[in-house]
Amino acid sequence: MPAYKQPETFSASPLGFMHKFANLLANTLTNKESFAAYFEPFIQLFKPEWRYQQLAAKVISKRNENNKIYTLTLKPSASWSGFKAGQFVLFSIEINGRLLTRTFSISSAPAEFEQSGLIELSICEQDQGAVTPWLKAELNTGDFVYLSQAMGDFCLNLQDKKVFIAAGSGITPIRSMLKQAKNEAWLKDAHLFFYQRNPEETIFLDDLAALKQARLNIHLLYTELDGHFSLEHLKTGLKLEQTPDATFFNHTEAYICGPGKMIASCREQLNQAGLADSNIHYEYFGRAPSSRSLTESLAADADEFIQVDYLDSNKQVQFTSGTVSKTLLELAEEQGLKPVSGCRMGICHQCICHKKQGRVFNTKTGEISDSGPEAIQLCLSVPVGSVELEL
């Protein structure tokens, strides 16, 4: 039986009143939030790709970029509103009867969508993933997937000189930015530092050649040979005689995308060189790395015994503080639970759960909660004391 809800306050608009009244009536009669949700199975008999509150996109093609990264070309429905270069979508697919959601950056340019109605998502296969290996092996041309509207603010500011730093599949939103800007005057003064493991794994060679012809300064670096990002790489690539200083960075912005540890290292080194945080723009591929605040919190109570109780499921996890920094979502899944989740990055809010008591560290905000009841996101929450969850 659904939980009791307080009556909604109806909008003064007649249309708003009718919409809310219809939803309230649907909830009363069908236990669904709207009649559209109730009739979804019947509508799908005639239009299989239709889902309530989901925007369908048809798979046009799938191609491999290297042995790990592949690109899906999609045609979103007419209700999809387009995007800005650098944005991402929530991507949903039904696998074995479950609708799973992940977050992928759009790797094509907005101008290409305006011309063709198509977008590209370039995806790195995760070895133990539930979604990315399935998409590579099982998704076929003509299938339908589901997209959110475009999201995110990892977008270009057109006023300053630019340095782009990408690692592996982290090139995807930057590819979108650079392809969109291929005719812009500032491109000849911009630099791309693109890190990959080795030359055999290099992706988007044709795009890089076209951008080089458009006078973008491109620096391909291979971590097996050159190591990871360093100011020495920046100094050499920008042909500076000494380590960059605040004078150089007065009118320069950095755009960084890749794994969390790589971004943290780049930010720290760029800060040391004099680049202000306000001029560093970044997008994590995956969960943000554990912060110093979390490390200090765990270390402060290193001998404290922690117990996480999943009350509704009668499951329990026990460990000593300082030995585990996994999220409550990861801990639940290790116990065989299957809480609803999506992006696993704190964006889609599908994994919200009610905490009855206990302190948790939010990996996105860097804050530690108080011990009282509250709604938390499982994918962002690391226990720093004993916790009880209604799960």
Please report, rounded to a whole number, the percentage of residues in the chain having pLDDT higher than 70: 77
In the chain, the domains with their CATH numbers are 1-38 (no CATH), 55-147 (2.40.30.10), 161-284 (3.40.50.80), 294-389 (3.10.20.30)
What are 327-342's pLDDT values in tens digits?
888 888 888 888 887 7
Which residues have C-beta within 8 Å of that of residue 193, sequence separation ≥ 6? 163, 164, 165, 166, 219, 221, 229, 233, 234, 237
pTM over 0.85: no
| pLDDT confidence band for 83 (50 / 70 / 90) | very high
Polymer length in residues for the chain: 391
| pLDDT confidence band for 1 (50 / 70 / 90) | very low
Q: Give the tokens for residue 127.
A: 């070895």
| pLDDT confidence band for 136 (50 / 70 / 90) | very high
Would the pLDDT of 322 be above 70? no
**DSSP string across 336-355:** T-----SSSSSSS-TTEEEE
User: Which 3 state secondary structure label does DSSP give 83?
Assistant: coil
Neighbours of 239 (CB within 10 A): 7
Would the pLDDT of 47 be above 80? no
Whole-angstrom distance, CA of residue 378 vs CA of residue 307: 16
Would the pLDDT of 299 be above 80? no
Q: How buried is residue 32: exposed, middle or buried, by Cβ count under 10 Å (0-12/13-18/19+)? A: middle
What are 198-247's pLDDT values in tens digits?
999 999 999 999 999 999 999 999 999 999 999 899 888 887 665 555 56
The pLDDT value recorded for residue 324 is 59
The pLDDT value recorded for residue 43 is 47
Please tell me which of 44-48, 192-196, 360-364 the model is most confident about, judged by mean pLDDT. Answer: 192-196
Task: Provide the mean pLDDT of the chain.
Answer: 81
| pLDDT confidence band for 297 (50 / 70 / 90) | low
What are 178-194's pLDDT values in tens digits?
999 999 999 999 999 99
